[in-house]
Amino acid sequence: MRPESNAVGAAERAPDQLRHDWCIDEVERLLEQPFSDLLYRAQQTHRAYFDPNEVQISSLLSIKTGACSEDCAYCPQSVHHDTGLEREALMPLQEVLKAADEARRQGATRFCMGAAWRGPKDRDVERVAAMIEGVKALGMETCVTLGMLTDGQTARLKEAGLDYYNHNLDTSEAYYSQIITTRTYQDRLETLRRVREAGINVCCGGILGMGESARDRAGLLVELANLPQHPESVPINLLVQVEGTPLAGTETLDPFIFVRTIAAARVLMPASRVRLSAGRTEMSDELQALCFLAGANSIFYGERLLTTDNPQVGRDRALFARLGLRMSGVGA
Ligand code: SAM
Ligand code: DTB
Ligand code: SF4
């Protein structure tokens, strides 16, 4: 399998060093290490596998918004929560391609299309396949997140040329039923297995700041790292609290715990892209710098995530310049 663009061939370089036998106690201890020790270890790992000054850039587009039948407690798009979001039908192909081209011009190398579905119908997959083909023709990597998939659907997406499928475990198995009741952890793992078996790269991570315990955070990381193959992309989201969702008003997470969790993800999954994902709008530049120092080397770029705000591109460009970070694929 091809390594992520501009990674230093890490996955091929030391596959024997990638562990899949982590236990929760061990990761809890890692997360509790003195901050400087944990960051030093994460830095060593990061530098052994990647150029620490290079960050992969993805842009997001919601191609089908709202009215999702699932009850994910964090999500503004669930039909179970009243967040005032307008529901929108699947976007026309030309609009999607226009957005992708604009993202490419801004410097994104991967275009991620998200749909608020429990899972797509086969006719939806046909339309998404055309979007994947069109975005690939622009010279970008493609990622989609459409919910649960069948074997036939993963095969169709692979045939269209899909590079990555995003499907998050979100939290530990123990905490999952507090967050989502309309599907199981096992359902999630099944789709991940199908995606992997179809030969599509896996993008899988979670959300922090949902009222979970330290053990839940360790549990999520262990689930990710102990998959038969590490996900190539690991998005770590900080909960974006949206009024009307059950998690609005949750006590905010200590930012150092967020940074520690990024560092632990880097240590457990050395060759993966760890993406500093949702929640950046509320983070200071200094906190984001700590996340990069802890081993994050990917972001969502562009003024919108799916339905909520992301930092202005000017702010990100200025931050990258101040930190001497390069966007991968842009002049690299
Ligand atoms: N419906 C599909 C699914 O759930 O897999 C795809 C779209 S869903 C919005 C993609 C991911 O966005 C979720 O798995 C979750 O991790 C993340 N997400 C949704 N709402 C969020 C929020 N308020 N804060 C942080 N992350 C969020
Ligand atoms: C992921 O882990 N985070 C992205 C992407 N994968 C699809 C989505 C974040 C959504 C934040 C809330 C919103 O904008 O609706
Ligand atoms: Fe639906 Fe995905 Fe939101 Fe859950 S996270 S409610 S599955 S759009």
Q: What is the mean pLDDT of the segment spanning 88-111?
A: 93
Q: What is the mean pLDDT of the segment spanning 144-150?
A: 97
So what's the pLDDT on residue 329?
A: 61
Could you say which DSSP state residue 2 is in? P
Chain-wide mean pLDDT for the chain? 92
So what's the pLDDT on residue 11?
A: 45
Closest ligand 3 atom to residue 80 Cα is 6
> Is the separation of the CB atoms in 205 and 185 below 8 Å?
no
Q: Which residues line ligand 3 (CB under 6 A)?
A: 68, 70, 72, 75, 77-78, 116, 118, 147
In the chain the beta strands, taken as DSSP E runs, fall at 54-64, 110-115, 141-145, 164-166, 201-203, 206-208, 233-238, 273-276, 298-300, 326-327
CA distance 205 to 296: 13
Q: Whose CA is nearest to atom 7 of ligand 2?
A: 114
So what's the pLDDT on residue 46?
A: 95
Angle 268-190-126 from CA coordinates, rounded to 5°: 115
Percent of the chain with pLDDT over 70: 94
Number of CB atoms found within 10 A of residue 282's CB: 15
Chain segment 40-74, per-residue pLDDT in tens? 999 999 999 999 999 999 999 999 998 899 999 99
Q: What is the mean pLDDT of the segment spanning 281-309?
A: 95
Examine the residue annotation and report whether 23 is marked as an active-site residue of this protein: no
CA distance 174 to 219: 8
Confidence category of residue 6, pLDDT binned at 50, 70, 90 = very low
Residue 15 confidence (pLDDT) above 70: no
> Is the separation of the CB atoms in 206 and 220 below 8 Å?
yes
Chain segment 303-324, per-residue pLDDT in tens? 899 999 999 989 999 999 999 9
So what's the pLDDT on residue 169?
A: 98
Residue 136 confidence (pLDDT) above 70: yes
> Is the separation of the CB atoms in 251 and 226 below 8 Å?
no
So what's the pLDDT on residue 67?
A: 85
So what's the pLDDT on residue 9?
A: 46
Q: Whose CA is nearest to atom 8 of ligand 3?
A: 116
Closest ligand 3 atom to residue 183 Cα is 7
Closest ligand 2 atom to residue 114 Cα is 7
Examine the residue annotation and report whether 143 is marked as an active-site residue of this protein: yes
Residue 16 confidence (pLDDT) above 60: no
Residue 18 confidence (pLDDT) above 50: yes
285-293 helix and 255-268 helix, angle to the nearest 10 degrees: 20
Chain segment 229-273, per-residue pLDDT in tens? 999 999 999 999 999 999 999 999 999 999 999 999 999 999 999
Please report which helix (H) or strand (E) contains residue 295, including its range: none
Write down the pTM of the prediction.
0.92
What is the Å distance from ligand 3's center to 275 Cα? Answer: 19
Residue 7 confidence (pLDDT) above 80: no
Q: Which of 41, 104, 112, 156 is catalytic?
A: 112
Chain segment 170-214, per-residue pLDDT in tens? 999 999 999 999 999 999 999 999 999 999 999 999 999 999 999
Examine the residue annotation and report whether 275 is marked as an active-site residue of this protein: yes
So what's the pLDDT on residue 10?
A: 47
Q: Which of 41, 183, 196, 203 is catalytic?
A: 203
3-state class percentages of the chain: helix first, strand second, coil last, to nearest 5: 40, 15, 40
Number of CB atoms found within 10 A of residue 302's CB: 23
So what's the pLDDT on residue 85?
A: 82
So what's the pLDDT on residue 14?
A: 53
Cβ 277 under 6 angstroms from ligand 2: yes
